[in-house]
Amino acid sequence: MNGYNLNHLRELESESIFIIREVAAQFENPALLFSGGKDSIVMFHLARKAFWPAKIPFPMLHIDTGHNFQETLDFRDRLMKETGTECIVAMVQDSIDEGKAVEETGVNASRNKLQTVTLLDAIEKHKFDAALGGGRRDEEKARAKERFFSHRDDFGQWDPKNQRPELWNLFNGKKNMGEHFRVFPLSNWTEMDVWQYIFMENVDVPSLYFTHKREVFKRDGVWLAKAPFMELKDGEEVKVMDVRCRTIGDITCTGVTLSKADNLEDIIKEVAATRETERGGRADDKRSEAAMEDRKKEGYF
Amino acid sequence: MNEVTKGYLNMELLRFTTAGSVDDGKSTLIGRLLYDSKAIFEDQMEAIERASKKMGEDEGVNLALLTDGLRAEREQGITIDVAYRYFATPRRKFIIADTPGHIQYTRNMVTGASTANVALILIDARNGVIEQTNRHAYIASLLQIPHIIVCINKMDLVDYSEEIFEKIKLEFKNISTKLDVKDIRFLPISAKLGDNVVDRSEKMKWYDGPTLMYLLETIHISADYNQLHQRFPVQYVIRPQKDEYHDYRGYAGRIASGIFKPGDRVKVLPSGIKTKIKGIDFMEEKLDVASAPQSVTISLEDNIDISRGDMIVGENKAPEMGQEIEMMISWLSEDAMKMGGKYILRHTTNELRCVIKEVKYKIDINSLEKNFDDKSISLNEIARISIKTTKPIYYDPYRLNRITGSLVLIDEATNNTVCAGMII
């Protein structure tokens, strides 16, 4: 690496590592939100770099909807075991069983929104004062205005009109008891940057991101994976197609892309050529124009 | 590795800020840069088209809707906060900090400017230099943005007149003589029609300079970092509890300025103890050289007691040390400044307390005049003040170093960031 002229990925990497270290220094008890998706895998990779040769000084936290792709869970367990990292799993099913969250019904039912309840419970139970997330500003309009250090009140809520100014690389993590922070070290990355970085650093990602044959069906113009707990509407027909995931979330609301890309360079080419945003395939964002802003105010990721 | 992929690994990052109101055509310009570089996706475009129709826009698509992300902003048709936008060309990745231009949003402009390499200032060719132009130029100078690109926009509405372009150029140069700006470029453009934005204008043959996109892609930024003064604020101390790294003690941080190499003689502040750099680590990589803005881990030859907030500096050209600090400030909070009040001060990775000693003057950023009489400081005001810190801090003047010369103040009661300071 040439010290005089960093490429854009190295500069983003340096910025993110700075933020991750700042979290370890400013907070008593942080956690890194790990979903098994590519953004959280990059976050994990950056956190290892930030503290090497020491271990990451905080645990991972996975909010498990119970509606996962099995490959994601296998990937998570392998990665944590190989690196000797602690991963706390909080189950949405437990929140439902305890009566704190109510399962949505109907054909579009998703546990995506219920994750907020489980997440806030886990933060309270483990007394986390900062949760590092892989959110990026390019993902969605409401995110474009979120800070690196995003303050949450004691109900876990975000107040978009009352955010702290962030200047230079001075970050203010001061808070009262019961409040916490969400911190987004990848704020300035785009989907393209994430893939280029994965390629440059040779980061291992779940096989779901590469082409594979899967049973899928089309709903509202989006291809969804067939799963045992999903009801089909009349006229929806299951087909086997060559697909890959562009994002990995709850299986009920994550669209898959028809693709034959079986390596990172092909994925990068595909991302460069694509004319639809990554979240375009996420049914959870299509609910309304301000869907993300509303969920974020309530305490979503 | 194919050619395309190789190209991606050879791109630079450029951060620029734009300030202006919708009337300047700022949103149109950003929209054009994003659209022409294919950073606007089809689903985003469809969403904007839908929203434009809903708001009764006649002239097709309102590109401002692209950047106004919050519900309140869309409903009121205003931009409240700094919005970050991203696009890339084969040469560079760009981060736009898009800020509202009205005086009540000075704090947002200051925030956006703090990390920018380039300031894009828009002037409506029909109006020339106006109050708002002064403000934007002053903030760019105050925050020491290394390059200013003045886009004289709406040239199509003044018959692409070279005379008008030259006249506005002169007006702007008159302001800039009062400011501390190193590099200013002028461009005649029409954001709406695309003249000199990405493609050269057919209508302005008299202009033989670069297009805006070409300038953004090529403006020389690698020299913007201070390469002379070695400054490494210690952010975090790494002590692995592992057998194979039993004696390892690394100081993690992000280089603020200067070039560091193993073997360099350095000094640790505040103790002043001298030692040598043993190694610069970046995970398994051992680096021969590292410079700003890299995040690395430095190990030293001698075992010295060092903690967060300390600074490793070159043996020569040490920073200044002191407790009485003079600075220009931008007040960021709705709560007015308390004269004699105590605040938490954050400077590099250091945190301590300070008290406000004196207000020297305020600046009217529309007229650029100094006011020595009114000493009250409230939201969006710019002033020169002095503070006293509980312990000495080690700093450089902001004009020499944007990292070791900057600080923020935090209100102890509300925990809010209330003030941005640039040390003189």
Q: Which CATH number belongs to the domain containing residue A123 in this structure?
A: 3.40.50.620
pLDDT at B25 over 50: yes
Torsion of CA B21, B23, B28, B30, to 10 degrees: -20
Residues A267 and A166 in one domain: no
Size of interface A-B (CB pairs under 8 A): 204
Residue B63 lies in a domain: yes
Q: Residues A117-136: what's their mean pLDDT?
A: 93
Comparing CA positions, the residue from B131, B135, B167 lying closest to residue B152 is B167
Residue A26 lies in a domain: yes
Comparing CA positions, the residue from A41, A38, A39, A32 lying closest to residue A63 is A32
Give percent of chain B above pLDDT 70.
88
Residues B76 and B121 in one domain: yes
- How far is the C-alpha of B319 from the C-alpha of B403, rounded, in Å? 12
Burial degree of B347 (CB within 10 A; 0-12, 13-18, 19+): buried
Residue B300 lies in a domain: yes
Residues A77 and A137 in one domain: yes
Residues B290 and B141 in one domain: no
- How far is the C-alpha of B42 from the C-alpha of B177, rounded, in Å? 45
Residue A164 lies in a domain: yes
Residues A41 and A96 in one domain: yes
For chain B, count helices (H), then strands (E).
9, 23
Residue A227 lies in a domain: yes
Q: Which residue bears the tokens 């997440």?
A: A119
Residue B358 lies in a domain: yes
pLDDT at B68 over 60: no
Comparing CA positions, the residue from A20, A293, A17, A292 lying closest to residue A130 is A20
Residues B241 and B377 in one domain: no
Per-residue model confidence (pLDDT) at position A244: 92
Per-residue model confidence (pLDDT) at position A3: 43
Per DSSP bridges, beta strands B183-188 and B92-100 are unpaired
Rounded to two decimals, the ipTM of the complex is 0.92
Nearest to A174 among B84, B252, B410 (CB): B410
Show which of B218, B245, B279 is a domain's final residue: B218
Stronger pLDDT, B102 or B411, i.e. the higher one: B411
pLDDT digits (tens, 9 = 90+) for A181-220: 999 999 999 989 999 999 999 999 999 999 999 988 888 8
Residues B111 and B206 in one domain: yes
Residue A190, SS3 per DSSP: coil
Residues B131 and B154 in one domain: yes
Residue B155 lies in a domain: yes
Residues B192 and B47 in one domain: yes
Angle at B147 between CA B145 and CA B148, to 5 degrees: 95
Residue A158 lies in a domain: yes
Stronger pLDDT, B44 or A263, i.e. the higher one: A263
Domain count, chain A: 2
Q: Of all helices (H) and strands (E), which one includes residue B266?
A: strand B265-269
Which chain B residues have a beta carbon less than 8 Å from that of A142?
69-70
- How far is the C-alpha of A17 from the C-alpha of A11, rounded, in Å? 10
In 10 A of CB A275, how many CB atoms?
12
Q: How confident is the model at residue A292 (pLDDT cuts 50, 70, 90)?
A: low
**B110 backbone dihedrals φ, ψ, rounded to 5°:** -65, -45
Residues B25 and B54 in one domain: yes
pLDDT digits (tens, 9 = 90+) for B47-62: 767 776 766 654 556 6
Q: How confident is the model at residue A2 (pLDDT cuts 50, 70, 90)?
A: very low
- Choose the mutation target among B1, B13, B248 for the interface with A, i.e. most A CBs under 10 Å: B13
Cβ pair A174:B344 closer than 8 A: yes
Residues A140 and A52 in one domain: yes
Residue A56 lies in a domain: yes
Q: Which of A160-164, A291-295, B160-164, B358-362 has the lowest mean pLDDT?
A: A291-295
Q: Residues B208-232: what's their mean pLDDT?
A: 92
Residue A222 lies in a domain: yes
Which chain A residues have a beta carbon less than 8 Å from that of B245?
53-54
Which chain A residues have a beta carbon less than 8 Å from that of B410?
172, 174
Cβ pair B111:A167 closer than 8 A: yes
> Residue A64 corresponds to which amino acid?
D
Residue A265 lies in a domain: yes
> Residue A224 corresponds to which amino acid?
L
Residue B223 lies in a domain: no
Nearest to B294 among A6, A176, A269 (CB): A6
Nearest to A161 among B42, B72, B238 (CB): B72
Which residues touch B162 (CB under 8 Å, ≥6 apart)? B188, B204, B206, B207
Cβ-contact B236, B252 below 8 angstroms:
yes
- How far is the C-alpha of B423 from the C-alpha of B318, rounded, in Å? 16
Residues A269 and A122 in one domain: no
Per DSSP bridges, beta strands B250-254 and B236-238 are antiparallel
Q: Which CATH number belongs to the domain containing residue B247 in this structure?
A: 2.40.30.10
Stronger pLDDT, A36 or B52, i.e. the higher one: A36
- How far is the C-alpha of B93 from the C-alpha of B87, rounded, in Å? 6
Tokens encoding A248? 């990995």
- How far is the C-alpha of B105 from the C-alpha of B380, rounded, in Å? 7
Residues A89 and A210 in one domain: no
Average model confidence (pLDDT) across chain A: 86
Cα end-to-end distance, chain B, whole Å: 49
Burial degree of B372 (CB within 10 A; 0-12, 13-18, 19+): exposed
Question: Highest mean pLDDT: which of A144-153, A247-256, B102-111, B211-220?
Answer: B211-220
For chain A, count helices (H), then strands (E).
8, 10
pLDDT at B348 over 60: yes
Which chain B residues have a beta carbon less than 8 Å from that of A9?
9, 11
**Smallest CA–CA separation between A244 and chain B, in Å?**
20
Burial degree of B251 (CB within 10 A; 0-12, 13-18, 19+): buried
Domain that holds residue B180: 3-218
Per-residue model confidence (pLDDT) at position B300: 97
Q: Is the dihedral of CA B101, B102, B107, B110 positive or negative?
A: positive
Q: Residues B133-162: what's their mean pLDDT?
A: 95
Cβ pair B81:A160 closer than 8 A: yes
Per-residue model confidence (pLDDT) at position A295: 64
Stronger pLDDT, B171 or B44, i.e. the higher one: B171
Cβ-contact A226, A256 below 8 angstroms:
no
Nearest to A170 among B227, B282, B346 (CB): B346
Residues B152 and B279 in one domain: no
Cβ pair B47:A289 closer than 8 A: yes
Stronger pLDDT, B227 or B343, i.e. the higher one: B343
- How far is the C-alpha of A23 from the C-alpha of A31, rounded, in Å? 9
Show which of B218, B253, B287 is a domain's final residue: B218
**B113 backbone dihedrals φ, ψ, rounded to 5°:** -75, -20
Cα B22 to the chain's mean position, in Å?
Answer: 22
- Nearest-CA residue of chain A relative to B95? A188
Domain that holds residue A213: 205-285
Average model confidence (pLDDT) across chain B: 89
- How far is the C-alpha of A282 from the C-alpha of A191, rounded, in Å? 15
Residues A87 and A223 in one domain: no
Nearest to A174 among B244, B403, B415 (CB): B415
Q: How confident is the model at residue B35 (pLDDT cuts 50, 70, 90)?
A: confident
Nearest to A52 among B43, B241, B283 (CB): B283
Residues β-bridged to residue B343: B354
pLDDT digits (tens, 9 = 90+) for B151-181: 999 999 999 999 999 999 999 999 898 888 8
- Nearest-CA residue of chain A relative to B334? A162
Show which of B314, B346, B364 is a domain's final residue: B314
**Smallest CA–CA separation between B163 and chain A, in Å?**
40
- Nearest-CA residue of chain A relative to B221? A5
Per-residue model confidence (pLDDT) at position A181: 93
Edge-to-edge strands of the sheet including A149-152? A87-91, A60-64, A30-33, A130-132, A180-183, A149-152
Residues B284 and B362 in one domain: no
Which chain A residues have a beta carbon less than 8 Å from that of B241?
54-55
HSE on the CB side for A157, CA within 13 Å?
8
Q: How confident is the model at residue B111 (pLDDT cuts 50, 70, 90)?
A: very high
Cβ pair B115:A163 closer than 8 A: no
Per-residue model confidence (pLDDT) at position B344: 98
Domain count, chain B: 3
Cβ pair A51:B252 closer than 8 A: yes
Q: How confident is the model at residue B74 (pLDDT cuts 50, 70, 90)?
A: low
- How far is the C-alpha of B55 from the C-alpha of A196, rounded, in Å? 39
Residues A223 and A188 in one domain: no
Per-residue model confidence (pLDDT) at position A276: 60
Q: How confident is the model at residue B114 (pLDDT cuts 50, 70, 90)?
A: very high
Q: How confident is the model at residue B92 (pLDDT cuts 50, 70, 90)?
A: very high
Residues B327 and B310 in one domain: no
Q: Residues B208-230: what's their mean pLDDT?
A: 92
Residues A76 and A211 in one domain: no
B153: left (phi over 0), alpha (psi -120 to 50) or beta: beta
Q: How confident is the model at residue A296 (pLDDT cuts 50, 70, 90)?
A: low
Residues B405 and B391 in one domain: yes
Tokens encoding A64? 């498990």
Cβ pair B71:A293 closer than 8 A: yes
Residue A244, SS3 per DSSP: strand
Residues A252 and A159 in one domain: no
Q: How confident is the model at residue A301 (pLDDT cuts 50, 70, 90)?
A: low
Residues A105 and A235 in one domain: no
Residues B12 and B102 in one domain: yes
